[in-house]
Amino acid sequence: MQRKESKKEIHFIGTVEKEGEDEAQIRIYPEYCAGLKGISEYSHAIILYWLHLRDNEKERQTLLVFPKRHARNVETGVFACRSPSRPNPIGLCVVELVTVDECVLTVKGLDADKNSPIIDIKPYLQKADSIPNATAPQWINHGPKT
């Protein structure tokens, strides 16, 4: 089967202004601020961001990795782990919403670096985003949360 290439554009909606272990800040660009209406009613959100420090040809060609943040080194495919090296350097993180002040979100639990472009924000929905009986390989339990 032949692969059909299709080029699409991603419009970044903001940037990580401040990173931190405890709290981080995300600034949404003024033209997208209206999209935040109602987000403060949620306790958590899903942040999609661009892994800009890994956006190069070498990292985009990486398909097999040894996840470094885990005690057990197991070679795995990038689609079976959360490695930042991948064909499309997109990061995903569930964060706790602390405050929403106009175009700035203060959050807890963000694992993005400062200046990471924000792709999208989605509300975390317990009914849809929590799978009680989900399973994962044993090696994933020997490392950090993400």
Domain contains 131: no
CATH of the domain at 73: 2.40.30.70
The number of domains in the chain is 1
Residue 82 falls inside a structural domain:
yes
Residue 138 lies in a domain: no
**Token pair for 3:** 């692969």
86 found inside a domain = yes
pTM of the full structure: 0.87
**Is residue 43 in some structural domain?**
yes
Asked which of 38-52, 58-72, 108-122 is least confident by mean pLDDT, the reply is 58-72
Least confident of 8-12, 88-92, 117-121, 132-136: 132-136
Enclosing domain of residue 58: 14-125
**Could you tell me the pLDDT band of residue 142, with boundaries at 50, 70 and 90?**
low
With respect to residue 90, please indicate whether it lies within any of the assigned structural domains.
yes
The CA–CA distances, whole Å, from 79 to 33, 54, 96 equal 32, 16, 25
Spell out the residues 6+ positions from residue 44 whose beta carbon is closer than 8 angstroms to its own.
Answer: 94, 95, 96, 97, 123, 124
Q: Round to whole Å and give the CA distance between 49 and 54.
A: 12
Q: Is 134 inside a domain boundary?
A: no
CA dihedral for 63, 66, 69, 71, sign (positive or negative)? positive
